[in-house]
């Protein structure tokens, strides 16, 4: 692991608020978006090319106190009965706007269901949902079909049913396996049950099993976190997502219920990450981008090796699909250079669909310059590098002239040993990968200083 002095220096210099760059421009730049943007952006799509689809299923029976997602709390299953018709109506109305000269259905190569807790739905709900999806979309033969599931509430027969519907990838939100931490974040779960679920996933033929862990939660220490690493070593999932907890109680008010004094210190937090990374490496995992790890042979691992990894709102992906249709409350799509977020509250979402107007909570139409910076930031966040010539050929610029000020900033990271640069490319070193959000912010034309409070801290 890195020497203590290097770790402390990173904490001292770079543990300040900075965007996570799941989008660029970031969601804080989103504003009012006219209804006309919907028809214009959808109409500009080339539907001969496969699309990505994201569907948000917002329901949760329990409020996990670390959560940063947009969820609707309910223990009543009938809320799904009223939600699914709205969701299918939204899909029908929006897909009608897509141009397709041959009159066929748009082709989907990637679909992901997030939440919330998608397995809040009963199996009959999934049947109804997929009947509608096949009515409005065609799927490629090798389409990635993935879903996020809460293993703690996964019932018998659920996984076989999802496999029959075509799902081939599954992600389980475990977060931590120690009782003290789980109690502090209000997430009760049976670890032995989770182990059984992972075994069943493999038995049912899911081609990729991912486990999510979080570091930085209350009561986590370098010592206690070894239980999580032992859990991973026992199960050896295909992928691991190791997320840094974002404490943003000014945005997510339920986080105020956490004991802030018990949160992991920045130094301990980085040490947990370094320990996990070292242990994963010994298990045979390779780091993928900022916060993922994969076994050799996994498609994400191979994409990172080849520096062809990409990133969208669903996370890291092997498919460079800039157009992502998104459906459901709060879902954010990216179509023809326009970010569009659906209404977060159910009332606004329902009114938009029933009245077919006031479609958006907010959004953003990118300029050519935005698209250029989006590509660079995506490359940094995905592959920790920028290949100057590729950018020049794609956007018709001279990189060092167009980004003269930014080049000076990049030199700063080179001088500190966090990156290497020559006339053809820029690439981070080991320490640079820990502060990649800061490095990416060099190209953020909208950043308003490192202390902007809308963002979580970088470490």
Residues 320-343, mean pLDDT to the nearest whole number? 92
In this prediction, residues 286-303 reach a mean pLDDT of: 89
Provide mean pLDDT across the span 383-389.
95
* Contact in structure between 86 and 358 (CB atoms under 8 Å): no
Angle between helices 266-283 and 226-235 (to 10 degrees): 20
Residue 333: what pLDDT?
95
CA distances to 35, 48, 70, 119, 231 from 115, in Å: 25, 29, 8, 9, 24
* pLDDT score, position 451: 46
Percent of the chain with pLDDT over 70: 95
The predicted model scores a pTM of 0.92
Over residues 2-57, the pLDDT tens digits come to 666 776 777 778 877 888 898 899 988 999 999 999 999 999 998 888 999 999 99
Q: What is the pLDDT of residue 101?
A: 44
**Predicted confidence band of residue 306 (pLDDT cuts 50, 70, 90):** confident
CATH node for 368-459: 1.10.10.920
Tokens 């900033």 belong to 409
Domain ranges of the chain: 26-317, 368-459
pLDDT surpassing 70 at residue 394: yes
Q: Compute the CA torsion angle 159, 294, 146, 90 (nearest 10 deg).
A: 150
Tens of pLDDT along 217-273? 999 999 999 999 999 999 999 999 999 998 889 889 999 999 999 999 988 988 898
Mean pLDDT of 128-139: 97
Q: What one-character DSSP code corresponds to residue 152?
A: G
The pLDDT value given to residue 318 = 80
- What span, in angstroms and rounded, lies between the C-alpha atoms of 283 and 351? 51
Distance CA 409, CA 392 (A): 19
Which pLDDT does position 455 carry in this prediction? 63
Given 3.30.1330.40, 3.80.30.20, 2.40.50.140, 3.90.228.20, which CATH number is that of 26-317? 3.80.30.20
> At which residue do the structure tokens 């295909």 appear?
238
Residue 237 tokens, joined: 């999932």
State the CB neighbour count (10 A cutoff) for residue 178: 19
Contacts of 360 (CB under 8 A, 6+ apart): 32, 33, 35, 37, 38, 340, 341, 342, 343, 352
Mean pLDDT over each residue of the chain, to the nearest integer: 92
In the DSSP assignment, the letter for residue 332 is E
pLDDT at 450 over 60: no
Q: Give residue 391's pLDDT.
A: 97
- 7 token code pair: 């770790």
pLDDT reading at 348 higher than 60: yes
CA 417 to chain centre: 29
**pLDDT at residue 55, rounded to an integer:** 98
- Burial tier of 395 (Cβ tally within 10 Å: 0-12, 13-18, 19+): middle
DSSP string, 84-102: HHHHHHHHHHHHTTS--TT
Pull the structure tokens for residue 387.
């290949």
Q: Which residue has the tokens 């080991």?
A: 430
What's the distance, CA 277 to chain centroid? 20
pLDDT (0 to 100) of residue 16: 79
Q: Is the predicted pLDDT of residue 344 greater than 70, yes or no? A: yes
The whole-angstrom separation of Cα 89 and Cα 85 is 6
Cα–Cα distance, 139 to 418 (Å, whole number): 43
Lowest mean pLDDT among 32-46, 163-177, 200-214, 310-324: 310-324
274 and 430 Cβ atoms separated by less than 8 Å = no
- For the chain, the straight-line distance linking the first and the last C-alpha, in angstroms and rounded, comes to 16
Query: 72-73 and 59-60: which strand pairing?
Result: parallel
* Beta-strand runs (E) in 125-220: 138-149, 169-175, 208-215
Residue 329 has pLDDT above 90, yes or no: yes
pLDDT-derived band at 175, boundaries 50, 70, 90: very high
pLDDT > 90 in the chain, percent: 77
Q: DSSP 3-state assignment of 310? A: strand
Classify 452 as helix, strand or coil.
coil
User: pLDDT confidence of 99, banded at 50, 70, 90?
Assistant: low
Which of residues 87 and 9 earns the better pLDDT score?
87
**pLDDT over 70 (residue 459):** no
């Amino acid at each position: 692991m890195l020497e203590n002095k290097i770790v402390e220096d990173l904490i001292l210099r770079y543990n300040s608020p900075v965007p996570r760059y799941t989008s660029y421009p970031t969601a804080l730049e989103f504003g009012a978006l006219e209804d006309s943007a919907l028809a214009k952006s959808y109409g500009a799509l080339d539907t001969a090319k496969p699309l990505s689809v994201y569907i948000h299923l917002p329901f949760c029976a329990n409020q996990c106190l670390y959560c940063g997602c947009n969820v609707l709390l309910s223990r009543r299953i009938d809320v799904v009965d009223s939600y699914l018709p709205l969701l299918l109506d939204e899909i029908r109305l929006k897909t009608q706007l897509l141009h397709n000269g041959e009159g066929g259905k748009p082709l989907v190569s990637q679909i992901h269901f997030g939440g919330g807790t998608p397995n809040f739905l009963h199996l009959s709900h999934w049947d109804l949902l997929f009947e509608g999806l096949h009515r409005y979309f065609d799927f490629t033969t090798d389409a990635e079909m993935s879903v996020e599931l809460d293993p703690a509430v996964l019932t018998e027969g659920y996984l076989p049913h999802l496999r029959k519907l075509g799902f081939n990838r599954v992600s389980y939100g475990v977060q931590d396996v120690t009782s003290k931490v789980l109690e502090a974040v209000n997430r009760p779960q049976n670890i032995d049950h989770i182990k059984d679920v992972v075994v069943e996933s493999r038995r049912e033929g899911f081609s990729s099993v991912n486990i999510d862990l979080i570091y930085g939660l209350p009561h986590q220490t370098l010592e206690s976190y070894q239980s999580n690493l032992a859990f991973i070593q026992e199960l050896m999932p295909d992928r691991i997502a190791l997320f840094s907890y974002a404490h943003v109680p000014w945005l997510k008010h339920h986080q105020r219920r956490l004991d802030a004094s018990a949160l992991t210190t920045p130094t301990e937090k980085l040490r947990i990450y370094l320990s996990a990374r070292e242990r994963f490496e010994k298990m045979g995992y390779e780091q993928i981008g900022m916060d993922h790890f994969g076994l050799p042979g996994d498609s994400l691992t191979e994409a990172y090796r080849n520096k062809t990894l990409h990133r969208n709102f669903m996370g890291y992906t092997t498919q460079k699909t800039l157009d992502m249709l998104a459906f459901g409350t709060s879902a954010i799509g990216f179509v023809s250079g326009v970010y569009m977020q659906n209404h977060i509250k159910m009332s606004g979402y329902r009114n938009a669909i029933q009245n077919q107007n006031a479609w958006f909570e907010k959004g953003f139409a990118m300029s050519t310059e935005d698209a250029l910076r989006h590509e660079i930031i995506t490359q940094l966040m995905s592959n920790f590098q920028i290949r100057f010539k590729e950018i020049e050929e794609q956007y018709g610029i001279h990189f060092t002239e167009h980004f003269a000020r930014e080049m000076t900033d990049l030199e700063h990271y080179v001088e500190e040993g966090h990156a290497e640069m020559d006339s053809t490319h820029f690439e981070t070193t080991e320490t640079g990968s820990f502060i990649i959000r800061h490095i990416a912010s060099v190209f953020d034309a909208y950043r308003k200083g490192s202390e902007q409070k809308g963002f979580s801290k970088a470490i």
